[in-house]
Amino acid sequence: MRIALYNENPGELKALSGQLDRCAREYLHFAEIVPYARQEDFCGMVRDGPDFDLFVVAQDGTFSLEVVELLREERPKARIFWFSDLDFALRAYRYNADWFGRKPVALPAMQKAFGQLLRRRGQLMTQNTNAL
């Protein structure tokens, strides 16, 4: 699984990378996590970069909203975990984010997000198999 992680705070970025790595090992055994600390770099990748299996946006303020709007516009089928200090739960629902949580991000929240993502993937795989 390839994961793109966006957060402009170096301390939070390191902590989130560790949480993602731990969850990936618990649920998937392996993940490649690509961190982005600048909005310009992340948005450029969203527009013209490689494919990722999951995008994690964990940014304060309305910057996270702008990034998720771009992400949904450019990659309509993207899997998204969105964490913000502001309550964008309704927007997250409208943008079909796989998970929305408030910052600061605690490990149990990240574990719940991964669990939900894998349950959804399992349901989708089962539905596709049943359709055949």
Q: What 3-state class would DSSP assign to 34? A: strand
What Cα–Cα distance (Å) separates residue 29 from each residue in 1, 24, 32, 44, 89? 9, 6, 11, 29, 30
Pairing of strands 80-84, 2-6: unpaired
Place of tokens 């949480």: 19
* DSSP designation for 105: P
pLDDT of residue 127: 43
* 11-31 pLDDT tens trace: 999 999 999 999 988 887 788
Q: How far apart are CA 118 and CA 98, in angstroms?
A: 10
pTM reported for the whole predicted model: 0.89
pLDDT at 124 over 70: no
Specify the higher pLDDT residue, 119 or 20: 20
| pLDDT per position as a tens digit, 54-104 | 999 999 999 999 999 999 999 999 999 999 999 999 999 999 999 999 999
Q: What pLDDT is recorded for position 123? A: 55
Confidence of residue 44 (pLDDT cuts 50, 70, 90): very high
Q: Which residues of 75-89 are buried (b: 16+ CB within 10 A; e: fewer)?
A: beebbbbbbbeeebe
Name the CA radius of gyration of the chain, rounded: 14
Judge whether 5 and 34 are in contact, CB under 8 Å: yes
Asked whether 100 and 92 are in contact (CB, 8 A), the reply is yes
